[in-house]
């Protein structure tokens, strides 16, 4: 197990679920994605690390998904603790950094950072959800080809049918064609939280409230199983923010997402892949 100490901080890799969950619950809505990954189907591919002060109290946490292309790197807690983790324990060469604007101070001497995407973390509960009726239908694994076509994912990058089977996906069809869909990034009944994602309406069919319909349908089903549902939306996407607000979502906090490359590493080799790929969990309605 990797362990490092710096400036009276101790950073180490962690695997104890209870310890990780306790820290994430300090702000469970901010940590919604991480809580989903804690018990998700890909949990074996997730690395966790925490930092502790000189009294042994946890001050920061980082989570990184393993993978060939830049994967999510989530930061939570004090900047000095996050820095200690990234300097000594979790050291991905390329990552898709997720945190608050304040976390830039924790990484800027270790990573070169692309321009930030400013996101809003919006959340809704059973007491605030306002459904929006429409002809949204539950999707199954039999719809996976239509779903990948809507998301414009190629054969190699397409979702497998298990994504729909393990999650909750709804779509709207026009003359048999799937033109709008929404699904889930994570569902964790044990932690009482789920995350909506992959909301997409084909450009030719926007302006008909389809995104609102499918998001409402997904949210409604999720709230039958968990008390809180979260999603991310670009802060400057006013139509999407308005649509989610109509459903009862409220802004919990602002996040920053950006591609990061380790200052010592072969990022140049990754650039063509990075620029060519369209990461599904970045998608949202327009």
Residue 123 reports pLDDT greater than 60: yes
CA dihedral 30, 161, 211, 281 (to 10 degrees): 40
pTM, two decimals, is: 0.86
Name which of 216, 199, 213 is nearest 286 in CA terms.
199
In 3-state terms, the chain is what percent helix, strand and coil (to 5)? 30, 35, 35
Instruction: Report the pLDDT value the prediction gives residue 90, as an integer from 0 to 100.
Output: 96
Tokens for 132, please give them: 């929006």
For the segment 140-151, the average pLDDT, to the nearest whole number, is 94
Q: Given CA atoms 74, 77, 80, 85 in this order, what sign does their dihedral have?
A: negative
DSSP E strands in 66-218: the ranges are 71-77, 94-99, 111-113, 117-125, 137-138, 170-174, 177-188, 193-201
Instruction: Report the pLDDT value the prediction gives residue 157, as an integer from 0 to 100.
Output: 63
CB 179 within 8 A of CB 213: no
pLDDT tens string 159-202: 889 999 999 999 999 999 999 999 999 999 999 999 999 999 99
CB 97 within 8 A of CB 270: no
**Residue 204: DSSP 8-state:** G
Residue 154 reports pLDDT greater than 80: no
> Which residues make Cβ contacts (< 8 Å) with residue 5, sequence separation at least 6?
11
Q: Give 249's pLDDT tier (boundaries 50, 70, 90).
A: very high
For the segment 222-245, the average pLDDT, to the nearest whole number, is 96
Q: Give the phi and the psi of residue 92 in degrees, each rounded to 5.
A: -65, 140
pLDDT tens string 14-57: 999 999 999 999 999 999 999 999 998 888 999 999 999 999 99
Dist. CA 30–CA 120, nearest whole Å: 10
Dist. CA 44–CA 198, nearest whole Å: 23
Q: Where are the alpha helices (H) located in the chain, listed in sequence order?
A: 17-24, 32-38, 79-88, 104-107, 144-150, 161-166, 210-222, 238-246, 267-276
Dist. CA 232–CA 254, nearest whole Å: 9
Instruction: Report the pLDDT value the prediction gives residue 4, as an integer from 0 to 100.
Output: 52
pLDDT tens string 67-121: 878 999 999 999 999 999 999 999 999 999 999 999 999 999 999 999 999 999 9
Domains, the chain, in order of start with CATH, read: 3-118+255-280 (3.40.630.30), 129-248 (3.40.630.30)
- Mean pLDDT score of the chain, rounded to an integer? 90
CB 262 within 8 A of CB 93: yes
Instruction: Report the pLDDT value the prediction gives residue 159, as an integer from 0 to 100.
Output: 87
CB 147 within 8 A of CB 118: no
Residue with tokens 């994504």: 163
Dist. CA 276–CA 116, nearest whole Å: 18
CA 202 centroid distance within chain: 22
**Between 203 and 158, whose confidence is greater?**
203
Dist. CA 12–CA 96, nearest whole Å: 21
Instruction: Report the pLDDT value the prediction gives residue 29, as an integer from 0 to 100.
Output: 98
């Amino acid at each position: 197990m990797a362990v490092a100490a710096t400036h009276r901080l101790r950073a180490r890799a962690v695997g104890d679920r209870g310890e990780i969950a306790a820290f994430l619950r300090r702000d469970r809505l901010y940590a919604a994605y991480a809580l989903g990954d804690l018990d998700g189907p890909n949990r074996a591919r997730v690395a966790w690390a925490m930092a502790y002060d000189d009294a042994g109290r946890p001050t920061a946490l980082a989570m990184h998904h393993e993978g060939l292309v830049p994967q999510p790197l989530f930061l939570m807690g004090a900047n000095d603790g996050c820095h200690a983790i990234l300097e000594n324990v979790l050291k991905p060469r390329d990552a898709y950094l997720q945190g608050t604007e304040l976390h830039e101070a924790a990484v800027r001497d270790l990573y070169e950072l692309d321009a930030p995407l400013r996101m809003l973390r919006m959340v809704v509960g059973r007491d605030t959800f306002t459904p929006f009726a429409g002809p949204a239908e539950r999707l199954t694994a039999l719809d996976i080809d239509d779903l990948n076509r809507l998301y414009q994912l190629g054969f190699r990058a397409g979702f497998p049918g298990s994504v729909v089977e393990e999650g909750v996906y709804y779509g709207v069809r026009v003359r048999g064609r799937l033109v709008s869909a929404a699904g889930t990034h994570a569902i964790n009944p044990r932690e009482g939280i789920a995350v909506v994602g992959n909301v997409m309406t084909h450009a030719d069919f926007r302006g008909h409230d389809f995104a609102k319909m499918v998001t409402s349908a997904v949210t409604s089903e999720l709230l039958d199983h968990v008390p809180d549902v979260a999603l991310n939306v670009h802060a400057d996407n006013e139509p999407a923010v308005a649509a989610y607000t109509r459903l009862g979502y409220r802004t919990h906090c602002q996040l920053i997402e950006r591609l990061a490359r380790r200052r010592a590493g072969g990022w140049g080799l990754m650039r063509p892949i990075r620029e060519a790929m369209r990461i599904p969990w970045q998608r949202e309605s327009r």
